[in-house]
Amino acid sequence: MGAGHAHKLYRQGRSPVHELPPHCKLAAVLCFVLVVVSTPREAVWAFGLYALLLAAVAAIARVPAGFLLRRMLIEVPFVAFAVLMPFVVPGDQVRFLGLSLSVPGLWGAWNVLAKGTLGVAASVLLASTTELRALLLGLQRLRLPPMLVQIASFMIRYGDVITDELRRMSIARRSRGFEARGVRHWGVLGKSAGALFIRSYERGERVHLAMMSRGYTGTMPVIEEMTASRAQWTSAAALPLSALAVCLLGWTL
């Protein structure tokens, strides 16, 4: 896979969560999210317990609450969508602070906010304790289609390259006195986007030819093989199994 690439979500540290094999953590997070999604929205208390489980994992991983909350801001667009639901979903109405709100819309907004927030929090915790290179190795270990793993690998490797190319194009435009100030400049920005696409495509062709000339046959060599012990799988399973117990209790009450 090559050298690892540090990312802003990752927090360097040594903890039991950091040391778990990546495929164990990936499987645990996936199962946890499936359990959360399967929980009835009326079991409000269950989502509170899920949040406590994630808080316990964050404490074990020594991930500060501020670090976690700042990186959960990616959820803001979904929050905005959820806020609109009580106003647009038809159904029985209730009055609150002079506003007429839809009861089904309120339940729908709660459903989106609770489950979405827990899913984002679990994903951020995963990224905070696992390097990108390790995540790719974990996906490969879980038998994800090799082509998808390679696409993700190249996306990570060349994302910064494309970003730098876009930055140089922006500097070149500004050095020639261009400033995007309105709709009339959208044409220039559109041409810049087209030029960036062509440059990226040509770079991809050159990289592919270089790989073929070095013996690439469709799969990337695995430098290190990751394995997990029974104890590590058991540790990783603690989160989804605890959540499953809460979910079953929520369905029975």
Q: What is the pLDDT of residues 52-86, one digit of tens each?
A: 999 999 999 999 988 888 888 888 877 887 887 87
Structure-token match 């959960």, residue found: 72
Between 117 and 81, where is the model more confident? Answer: 117
Most confident listed range (45-54, 79-88, 141-150, 167-176): 45-54
Q: Which of 128, 154, 117, 116 is closest to 25 using CA atoms?
A: 128
Residue 232 has pLDDT above 70, yes or no: yes
- pLDDT for the residue 165: 85
Q: Mean pLDDT score of the chain, rounded to an integer?
A: 84
Average pLDDT over residues 28-53: 94
Mean pLDDT score, 173-186: 76
DSSP 28-59: HHHHHHHHHHHS-TT-HHHHHHHHHHHHHHHH
- Can you tell me the mean pLDDT for 40-61? 93
pLDDT confidence of residue 224 = 63
Question: pTM here?
Answer: 0.79
| Percentage of the chain exceeding pLDDT 90 | 30
**Residue 108: pLDDT above 50?**
yes
* Residue 31 scores a pLDDT above 80: yes
Q: Which residue has the higher pLDDT, 25 or 78?
A: 25
Bridge partners of 96, per DSSP, are 99
Question: Quick one: average pLDDT of 167-178?
Answer: 83
Of residues 23, 239, 11, 236, the one with CA closest to residue 127: 11
Confidence of residue 222 (pLDDT cuts 50, 70, 90): low
Query: Among 17-26, 139-148, 173-182, which stretch is predicted with the lowest mean pLDDT?
Result: 173-182
